[in-house]
Amino acid sequence: GLSGFGYLDSTSNYPLLGGKSFPFEAGMRVPLAMRWPSHIKPGSVSAERVIGMDFYPTFLEAAGLPLKPEQHKDGLSLLPVMTGTGDLAERPLVFHFPHYTGYTGPNSTFIENHWKLIRFYCLADDQSDVFELYHLQNDLSETKNLAAQQPAKVKELNALITGFLRDTEAVVPQRNPNYNPKATPPAANPKAKGKKKYHHRLQPHPPRRRKPRRPLKRLPRPSCRRRRQPPRRPARSRSAPSAVKT
């Protein structure tokens, strides 16, 4: 988990930013390995960016079945990339995460032509959305937010996010009318000692050297002496009842 606002202590995805559930590259880029003898060349590598929805049309085409575009609108067949016969067509990628986790909040991400816009919902004090814009080809670590320098690009990509969410009837977080940024926060839970509050921003960090673990202290073995059982009493024999004389 997070041990602070600056890094994920449990792992390092350097030079990528973030980790699981974060909209940054370390939370989105996952290695994908495939094996298909006589079709995929061993040791071949591709830098194509794919998504989970690509599996369905890929399996259909690999099995020799007709594609069903009405069922996999967001996916493309990866067969040309797998067999080395072609590349995927240029397409925008949209990721919608309308949930809270321990350290991340609801967000939507739009990626197209190396541009990446992240919309954090209701993150400002007035519950307005916060935007972060990056050019992944020039800034893979996502350290330079270009939203203030490129307002036209932010408006363009944000409109595409809004259109996609509307067309797919996605659930979008709404503002809380009872939210008061000046309200006194509730008393801290004593059981939550050491936990950090939610913060959407991280910094990429190189792997840290961990302290060597202490050797486990061996505890004395318990005695294997078997407990003495009390002697059993002999079972009483029950004789048949004597015949009654009349």
Helices (H), the chain: 25-28, 55-62, 79-83, 151-167
- Dihedrals φ, ψ of 164, to 5°? -65, -45
Confidence of residue 187 (pLDDT cuts 50, 70, 90): low
> Which of 172, 195, 29, 241 lies closest to 102 in space, CA to CA?
195
- Residue 54 DSSP symbol: G
pLDDT tops 70 at residue 237? no
Please state the φ and ψ torsions of residue 111, each to the nearest 5 degrees: -125, 130
**What is the rounded average pLDDT for all residues in the chain?**
80
Q: Give the span between the Cα atoms of 170 and 173, in whole angstroms.
A: 10
Q: For residue range 12-47, list pLDDT tens digits in order.
A: 788 888 888 889 998 888 889 999 999 999 999 998
**pLDDT given for residue 160 in this prediction:** 96
Distance CA 86, CA 89 (A): 9
Out of 113-117, 184-188, 215-219, least confident range: 215-219
In angstroms, the CA 118 to CA 200 distance is 11
Strand order in the sheet with 107-112: 93-97, 107-112, 115-120, 130-135
pLDDT at residue 179, rounded to an integer: 81
- By C-alpha distance, which of 193, 205, 142 is closest to 6? 205
DSSP 190-206: GGGTTPPPP-------P
What is the model's pLDDT at position 73?
84
Confidence of residue 218 (pLDDT cuts 50, 70, 90): low
Name the range with the highest mean pLDDT among 100-104, 164-168, 238-242. 164-168
Q: What's the Cα-to-Cα distance from 86 to each of 78, 79, 190, 193, rounded to whole Å?
A: 9, 9, 58, 54
Considering only residues 32 and 222, tell me which one the structure prediction assigns the higher pLDDT: 32
**Whole-number pLDDT of residue 3:** 35
What pLDDT is recorded for position 11? 66
User: Around Cβ 6, how many Cβ atoms within 10 Å?
Assistant: 13
Side chain identity at residue 118, one-letter code = I
